[in-house]
Amino acid sequence: EKPGLELAVVSVPSYACQRHTPLLHHNTTLTDALSILAENAELGENEGRGVAFRRAAALLKSLPQEVRGAEQLRGLPCLGEHSLRVIKEVLEDGVSHEVETTTHSEQFKAMKALTGIFGVGAKTADRWFREGIHTPSDLQRSGHTLNRAQRAGLQYYDELNLPVTKPEAVAIGQIVERAVHAVLPGAEITLIGGFRRGKQTGHDVDFLITHPDEGREEGLMRKVVSWLEAQGFLLYQKTTGNSYLESKEGPARPASNMDRFERCFSIFRLRTDNEGREIQTGTEIQTGDGSQTYSPTLTNTDPHTHSDTHPHTKTDSHPLPQTLVVVGDHAQKVSWVLGHSQCSGPRSWRAVRVDLVVSPYSQFAFALLGWTGSKLFERELRRWAVHEKAMTLSSHALYDRKRTQYLRASSEEEIFAHLGLEYIPPCDRNA
């Protein structure tokens, strides 16, 4: 009679890549609880345990309806003993004791806060935690020597922890497109990561860049980054490319399946107005009462960023009004959302994490599949490939170990077909 009883007899496949996992599902209370435990395991560098909780959560995300009682879970895969215990507790009591203890634990809170700093991983955070550093402020006061990524991470801590919205992602996409087309016309830019899966917010924005003429994409990242830097769009960037590009005497290019994509981890400086639209470079901005001109400048004090193109401006000393007006042909209102930012007063831009990847055209489908995520979906695809098909899948290629050959693909659909899987569209890869 219970509406959910038929769940038990519905057969649910055990790999997340065999299932449709939409963004919105029916069991968020349960999956939130399991995600906390997964996160805690990952922060404690217990990867296996983390994956077990993630798999259990992903299974629940794929169910067509809300689970109301533990009896509905009979026969379902992916639910280990520990996950089942947590699920039952939440179903019966509304909360799990272990989850509550975790979220309130000083260590969990500190590890989350510290790994929330761009450039800080679990190992480093744990070391700091043991030294009594629990917050970004503690870290700042500690006088620890930080690397360039961590300095940027600390500087833009608050805003990098604000979700990036879809309009902001679109605005970043327009900038990336301008940059890419300025240095290589005909190149193609694809939004990947969570936004491609239909998420409305993200922790960053991810793009994949390629060019239909194989080879034209070589060395592209460097040029794109130079263009973006010259235009003042980058607050931070770390580009990794093929080493042979750095010097003519470098090692020969490895086989195409072995090489690693040119990649750029960056922090963009995104000008924003109320709608999250990007304001064109060079727009003059003035305060509402017209008394004070605010030219969009970097307010950071890090000498490693572009002090040459953007003179430092200390705005904390004379805070600006809440609303700015863009002076020009079409005056626009600009509102501040980031007045609390550490190193600057209110201003008309925000820092956004952006990942750029360049792939050769022949590997594009693999790169697209590999960088669309979710992370668990990717992991499950590779696990399926190895254990069920004796194939090796990467973001570069698919290798058939029985036939000892690479399998070509020019679309994600072809890759799923090679793997003997039903095609799962990006919006259903939210495992």
User: Which positions make up the binding site for Mg(2+)?
Assistant: 204, 206, 355
DSSP track, 231-279: TT-EEEEEEE--GGGT-TTSPPPPPTTT---EEEEEEEEEE--TT-PPP
Tally of helices (H runs) and strands (E runs) in the chain: 15, 14
Q: What angle do CA 185, 190, 191 make, to 5 degrees?
A: 140
The percent helix, strand, coil of the chain (3-state, each to 5) is 40, 15, 45
The site map against ligand 8DG for 373-402 (x = CB under 6 A) is xxx--x----------------x-------
Q: What angle do CA 275, 320, 349 make, to 5 degrees?
A: 35
Residue 289 neighbours by CB under 8 Å, 6+ apart:
321
Q: Tell me the sheet residues that pair with 353.
A: 267
* Selected catalytic residue, list 158, 302, 355, 428: 355
* Site membership for ligand 8DG, residue 194 (CB under 6 A): yes
Least separation, in Å, of the C-beta of 319 and ligand 8DG? 32
Least separation, in Å, of the C-beta of 243 and ligand 8DG? 17
Handedness of CA 197, 278, 341, 321 (dihedral sign): negative
* Site membership for ligand 8DG, residue 262 (CB under 6 A): no
Nearer to Mn ion, 133 or 169 (CB): 169
Beta strands 405-406 and 398-400, pairing class: antiparallel
Q: Which helix (H) or strand (E) holds 93?
A: helix 81-93
DSSP 283: -
Least separation, in Å, of the C-beta of 202 and ligand 8DG? 3
Residue at shortest CB range from Mn ion: 193
Nearer to Mn ion, 7 or 168 (CB): 168
Q: Which helix (H) or strand (E) holds 385?
A: helix 375-389
Beta strands 164-165 and 201-202, pairing class: antiparallel
Catalytic site residue 126?
Answer: no
Rounded Cα distance, 266 and 160, in Å: 11
Report the partner that residue 346 touches, choosing among ligand 8DG, Mn ion, none (CB closer than 5 to 8 A by kind): none
Which span sits near ligand 8DG by CB under 6 A: 84-92, 132-140, 365-373, 414-422? 365-373
Catalytic site residue 204?
Answer: yes
Taken as a whole, the chain contains a residue count of 431
Q: Which amino acid is at 241?
A: G
The answer to whether 266 and 236 are in contact (CB under 8 A) is yes
Which span sits near ligand 8DG by CB under 6 A: 193-201, 269-277, 281-289, 320-328? 193-201
Which span sits near Mn ion by CB under 5 A: 162-170, 205-213, 226-234, 250-258? 205-213
* Site membership for ligand 8DG, residue 202 (CB under 6 A): yes
* Site membership for Mn ion, residue 204 (CB under 5 A): yes
Report the partner that residue 374 touches, choosing among ligand 8DG, Mn ion, none (CB closer than 5 to 8 A by kind): ligand 8DG
Which of 153, 173, 193, 345 forms a contact with ligand 8DG (CB under 6 A)?
A: 193
Which span sits near ligand 8DG by CB under 6 A: 57-65, 151-159, 194-202, 406-414? 194-202
User: Applying CB under 6 A, which residues contact ligand 8DG?
Assistant: 193-194, 199, 202-204, 206, 355, 370-371, 373-375, 378, 395
Please identify every residue annotated as catalytic.
204, 206, 355
User: Applying CB under 5 A, which residues contact Mn ion?
Assistant: 193-194, 202, 204, 206, 355
